[in-house]
Amino acid sequence: MRKLASTILLASGLAIAGAMSVQAGTLVINANTSDPGPKQAFEELVERFEAANPDVDVELNIFDHEGFKTTVRNFLTSQQPDIITWFAGNRMKTFVDRDLLEDVSDVWQDNGLDTTFASSKSALTIDGKQYGVPYSYYQWGVYYRQDIFDDLGLSVPATWDEFMAVNATLKENGVTPITIGTKFLWTAAGWFDYLNVRINGLDFHLDVAAGNVPYTDDRVRAVFAKWQELLDSGYFIENHASYSWQEAQAFMFQGDAAMYLIGNFFVPFFPEDLADSISFFPFPVIDPSVAIYEDAPTDTVHIPKGAQNKEDARKFLAFIAQADNQAEINKLLGTLPPNSEAPIGDDRFLQAGFELLNSAAGTAQFYDRDTDPEMAKIGMQGFQEFMVKPDRLDAILERLEKARQRIYG
């Protein structure tokens, strides 16, 4: 017991450690940008900020991306940093509801963000006030090995039937069609999101995420039925529950798998010799009568309510919102700048992603950002279990429904 308690204490202690040595003129930033690209982007951003504000001394603490999701609660309720990275939508609302984030509507007004960030404003607005500034967003889609497709004479599938045909051909030729790593659960939610918006549309999907629809509803079952078509044919890699999303990349890079439904943050991981062989296509259409919707998660920065140095924190928010900085960091992140005046990187994935999201009839954040955090965890555990044991579908859906009733009841 005590050992356990100390483990937890240690975890929270590590989170607070960064915020301990704070003096006036210091701006403490706790960020979740632990992958190489995002890490470099934030380090360079901080350097530029310090150059522009010589009197401010920035202390940048970078946390593991997965671990940050839990440690953030520790430092929001104890020693609060001046800036945190976080996610728009329900994830942000969870903290705003508990009065943990600063209202930064003034930063929006003073810097004219209402016009430059018009497209993402709603995701950061609660009751007419803004609680953060977005710094990147990105598209999701199917990344695939174009060289393998070319070798087998395959073309990009636009519909579900074409997609299934592509899968079948790949499988016949000894290539597992789809790679995925579900150890940390959320990758499976990408499939749920896309199948749901393609079959039932965005409004229904957001209704599910908001807890208004039973998980045992026939329309939700239709999503799992489509999913099961892929599972029954063995189109996903085996043992995906053993791997993180990064580990699952190896199958695609080695040519054992050909496709990966993932976000554009995947691009910086391409090995050099494959960079030109990997391409991207939008998730295929299942029901032509349903408009095309996409997942476009938005990453954000916020000021905790109890921050010591809110003045410099506001400067930092304004700084990260500038078009040139947005362009610069998103080039390194491999994502899109939410600021409409920022030029988009000339990378083909960014260009394609921008076009995709611009022409979409609407966007969702992501299952674990649109729904209640606890529901998200239980839901994604269910998705993972379903992918391993599809025959347990009924028991899984009943479990999710029970959780939904308890959480939203």
Partner 1 sequence: MADLTAAQPTLGLTVHLSFVERNQKWMAPAVFLAPALFMFLVFVVNPIIQSIAVSLTEWDGLGPKEFIGLDNYRELFDDPVFYTAIRNNIIWLVLFMLAPAAGLAIALFLNQKVLGIRLVKSLFFFPFVISSVVVGLVFAWFYDPNFGILGRVLEGIGLEAIPVLSDENWVTYGIIVAALWPQVAYTMILYLTGLNNLNPEVIEAGRIDGAKGWSMLWNVILPQLRPATFIAVVVTVIGALRSFDLVAVMTAGGPFSSSTVLAYYMFEQSIFNFRMGYGAAIATVLFVIMGVYIAFFLWRMLREEH
For partner 1, the binding residues (CB under 8 A) are 1-5, 7-8, 70, 73, 76-77, 97-98, 100, 183-185, 238-242, 250-251, 373-374, 377-378, 381-382, 384-385, 388, 406
Please name every residue paired with 86 in a beta bridge, in sequence order, or none if there are none: 300
Q: How far is the CB of 373 from partner 1 (least distance, A)?
A: 6
Q: Which two tokens stand for residue 334?
A: 């491999």
Residue 236 one-letter amino acid:
F
- The residue among 78 and 122 lying less far from partner 1, judged by its C-beta, is 78
What is the rounded CA–CA span in Å between residue 173 and residue 184?
30
Encode burial over 156-175: b for 16+ CB neighbours within 10 A, e otherwise: bbeebeebbebbebbeeeeb
Q: How far is the CB of 135 from partner 1 (least distance, A)?
A: 25
Instruction: Tell me phi and psi for residue 357, to 5 degrees.
Output: -75, -30
- The residue among 58 and 185 lying less far from partner 1, judged by its C-beta, is 185
Give the DSSP letter string of 17-79.
Answer: HHHHS--TTEEEEEE---SHHHHHHHHHHHHHHHHH-TT-EEEEEE--HHHHHHHHHHHHHSS
Q: How far is the CB of 384 from partner 1 (least distance, A)?
A: 6
CA angle at 140 for the pair 139 and 142, rounded to the nearest 5°:
130
Q: How far is the CB of 199 from partner 1 (least distance, A)?
A: 24
Please name every residue paired with 181 in a beta bridge, in sequence order, or none if there are none: none
- The residue among 362 and 390 lying less far from partner 1, judged by its C-beta, is 390
Please name every residue paired with 129 in a beta bridge, in sequence order, or none if there are none: 126
Q: How far is the CB of 164 from partner 1 (least distance, A)?
A: 26
- The residue among 67 and 214 lying less far from partner 1, judged by its C-beta, is 67
| 3-class secondary-structure state, position 145 | strand
Q: How far is the CB of 179 from partner 1 (least distance, A)?
A: 11
Q: How far is the CB of 10 from partner 1 (least distance, A)?
A: 11
Q: Which two tokens stand for residue 347?
A: 């990378």
- The residue among 98 and 221 lying less far from partner 1, judged by its C-beta, is 98
- The residue among 107 and 307 lying less far from partner 1, judged by its C-beta, is 307
